[in-house]
Structure 1
C-alpha cells in the first residue's frame, strides 16, 4: 500500500510541472520535512527488504538445498538489508535536516 500511495502521489505532483511550475515547486517544498523523510525511509526499508526476501524465496523454491539453508539465507538478507540501510538512512537524514 505504501508503494502504491507513493507512486500515486509522485505521478500527481510530477504532473503539476506541466500545469503550473510554481505550484509544483511549492508542493515539493512541503515534502521537505521530517515526517515525509521518515515515511520515505520506511518506504526504502520496505522495498529493499521485499527485494532481498524475494531472492531468498526464489532460492528456497528453485534450489534443491534452498529449504535446508533458508534460515541462514534469512539472516544473510537481514544482514545485507542492515548494511545497505545504513547509508540510505544517512542520506535521507541528511536531506531531512541539512541538505535543502
Structure 2
C-alpha cells in the first residue's frame, strides 16, 4: 500500500512541477513569483517528504522486482521489506540536515 501511495504522491509532484515550470514560457515574472512562494519552511518540509517518498518508492520497487524475479523472493519478502525500511531510515537521517538546514537555521537561529 505504501508503494502505491508514494507513487501517487510522486505523480502529483511531477504534475505540479510541470505546471509551474511551464510558467516560464508564459511569463518569466510569474514563474519568479511562484518560485519565490516556495521559499518557506512548510515547502521545505514538503521537499523532505518528497525525498522520503521517492527514496521509499525506489527501494521498495527494487524489493518488488526481487520478489517477482527471484525464485526465493516470495519466501524472503518480509525480511527484504524490513531491509528496505532500515536502509530508508538511515538514508533519511542522513538527508535530514542537508535538506532542512535553511528551515532549521530560520527556526533556531544560526
What is the CA deviation profile of residues 60-84 of structure 1, one whole-angstrom value per residue up to 9, with x for unaligned ones?
2221221222222112111111122
Partner of 1:88: 95
Match status 1:71 vs 2:78: yes
TM-score under structure 1 normalisation?
0.81
Counting only pairs closer than 5 Å after superposition, residues 20-59 of structure 1 correspond to structure 2 as: 20-59=27-66
Partner Cα distance (1:12, 1:70) in 2: 38
Task: Give, in whole Å, the separation in 1 of the partners of 2:99 and 2:39.
Answer: 11
TM-score, normalising length: structure 2: 0.75
The size of the alignment, in residue pairs, is 99
Q: CA RMSD in A?
A: 2.0
Question: Which runs of no fewer than 5 residues in structure 2 stay unpaired?
Answer: 1-7
Q: Which residue of 1 aligns with 2:23?
A: 16
